[in-house]
Amino acid sequence: MILLKQMLVLFIMMLVGVYCRKKGIFNDEANKRISSLVVNVANPALILSSSINQEAVIEGMEFVKTFILAWGMFGGLMVFAYLIPKILKAEASEYGTYRTMTIFSNIGFMGFPVIDALYGSEALLYATMFLIPFNVLIYTYGISVMKKQTSDNAQTAGFQLQKILNAGVISCVVALVIYLTRLPIPGVVENAVDSISSLTAPLSMMVIGDSLTKINLKKLFCNGRMLIFSAIKLLLIPIVGVSLIKLLELNSLLIGVCMIMLSTPVGSMNAMLAQEYGGDYELASQGVTITTLLAVLTMPLVHFLMEVWL
For the chain, the domains span 2-309
Cα 71 from Cα 132, distance rounded (Å): 9
Cα 93 from Cα 233, distance rounded (Å): 20
DSSP letters spanning 243-276:
HHHHTT---HHHHHHHHHHHHS-B-THHHHHHHH
Q: What is the pLDDT of residue 303?
A: 85
Of all residues in the chain, the percent with pLDDT exceeding 70 is: 89
| Closest by CA position to 113, among listed 14, 260, 270 | 260
Q: What's the CATH number for 2-309?
A: 1.20.1530.20
Q: Distance between alpha carbon 251 and the CA centroid of its chain, in Å? A: 22
State yes or no: pLDDT of 41 exceeds 80: yes
CA atoms within 13 A on the CB side of 133: 20
Name the pLDDT band for 237 (thresholds 50, 70, 90). Answer: very high
Q: What is the pLDDT of residue 137?
A: 84
Residue 30 amino acid letter: A
CB 77 within 8 A of CB 104: no
How many residues are given for the chain?
A: 310
CB 205 within 8 A of CB 10: yes
Q: Highest-confidence range of 9-13, 242-246, 278-282, by mean pLDDT?
A: 242-246
Residue 99 amino acid letter: R
State yes or no: pLDDT of 260 exceeds 80: yes
State yes or no: pLDDT of 186 exceeds 80: yes
User: What global pTM score does this model have?
Assistant: 0.77
